[in-house]
Amino acid sequence: MPTKFSLNLWNYGNHNPSREHQMGTLIPGQSDVSSAEPMGNIALFFIPLGGISAELQAQAMAWLSEDERAKVARYRAPEAQMNALLVRAALRAVLSTTLSKTETASTQPFHPKDWCFEYGPKGKPSLTAVQRRQTGLDFNVSHSGDWLLIGVVKAQNARSVLFGVDIERSRPKTDIYPILNHYFSPQETSALLSLKGESNQRQRFFDLWALKESYIKATGLGLAQSLKSFAFDLAAFDLVQDRHVNLSVSSYLSGQLELKPIEIQGDVAFNVSPNLPLFGNIPVLQLGPSDAHQWLVYFGRLNDEYRFAFSLAVNDSTLGKLALSMQMLSVDTLLSGI
């Protein structure tokens, strides 16, 4: 039986001392918070990137479309080319795995090579309208440093969902202060500068950046949307201190925490807290035209170097109660499990 542990939870889109590492998973449908069946599921997959065997490389490449293979080939640096391949193949594997776990009698299975993608006006990728309608899935992807984060949401009507994820690496050499006036709202800047010490201010900067990235990725507008047109109020959350928040489950979430193993490859050591800080109920302040969506915003930290966020909005009651799952798995495990 997996050992249970507490996960720090909040509301709001990359390591190896040993052969295995473990991280928490919020398992849908096993909650004492609510007996109601969740109507929607959000799955976050944290995937450390690294080399894979030649056999798995060939398999991954075979899954990609001709256009995707051409994009991978455009990268000249071997590491960048490998990451481009892994990101695309991992997404396809995650989509197939997620769908297989939520299949009904009317759902047809999809092999990783069967997925087809389209792009929004500002370049946001999504499944084609036909496949969204068939599967009810939407996704978002983020990559920073050694980590890949893939978020998948399943809803009765995926077209009504806005979903974005971001994983962000803290970069100690980045001069954050000139950036504040260009991309942060006055409220965010003032709150950040009121923190004591450059270290705390730097942590808050990247916390906010992850939140903002997840939000503009959810809206699909990207940097065409001014980062000053909205703000996050973190005043009620002590995100820069090394402390844990007691587990709390909002009315939108149901689940139970369990440990899931990860097989680590190579000599890369992962430093991830066994009590993952995760925070919610983070207010979104609209500083421009009013946004009628209902937003759920989530933020957490893998460690002092990496943080992640996802933003979810719906314009109807499509999702109802949500079940949030989080799991970490190696690329080898993911690709070889298909």
Cα dihedral 242, 247, 250, 256, rounded to 10, equals 130
Residue with the bigger pLDDT between 12 and 239: it is: 239
Residue 103 is predicted with a pLDDT of: 66
Q: For residue 322, is it within any domain? A: yes
* 138 vs 326, more confident: 138
- pLDDT for the residue 267: 36
Task: Give residue 77's pLDDT.
Answer: 96
Q: Is residue 85 part of a domain?
A: yes
- Prediction pTM value: 0.79
Provide the token pair at 95. 């989509």
Q: How many CA atoms lie within 13 A of 325 on its CB side?
A: 20
Confidence of residue 129 (pLDDT cuts 50, 70, 90): very high
194 — pLDDT class (breaks 50, 70, 90): very high
Arithmetic mean of pLDDT, 18-31? 29
User: Could you tell me if residue 122 is inside a domain?
Assistant: yes
Residue 319 has pLDDT above 70, yes or no: no
Tell me the pLDDT band of 114, cut-offs 50, 70 and 90: very high
d(CA 208, CA 191): 11
Q: Is the pLDDT of residue 17 over 60?
A: no
Domain contains 14:
no
Which of residues 132 and 228 earns the better pLDDT score? 132
pLDDT band at 3 (very low <50, low <70, confident <90, very high): very low
320 vs 43, more confident: 43
**What pLDDT shows up at residue 40?**
58
Q: Would you give the end-to-end CA distance of the chain in angstroms?
A: 25
In tens, the pLDDT along 245-290 reads: 332 323 223 333 333 333 333 333 344 544 566 676 677 887 766 6
Q: Quote the domain boundaries for residue 61.
A: 20-336
CATH number at residue 269: 3.90.470.20
The answer as to whether 7 is a domain residue is no
Q: Which of 5-14, 52-61, 116-125 has the lowest mean pLDDT?
A: 5-14
Does a structural domain hold residue 194? yes
Domain assignment present for residue 300? The answer is yes
Q: Is 205 helix (H, G, I), strand (E, B) or coil?
A: helix
Token pair of 102, please? 């939520």
Total structural domains within the chain: 1
Asked if residue 141 is part of any domain, the answer here is yes
Q: Is residue 151 a contact partner of residue 94, using CB atoms and an 8 Å limit?
A: no
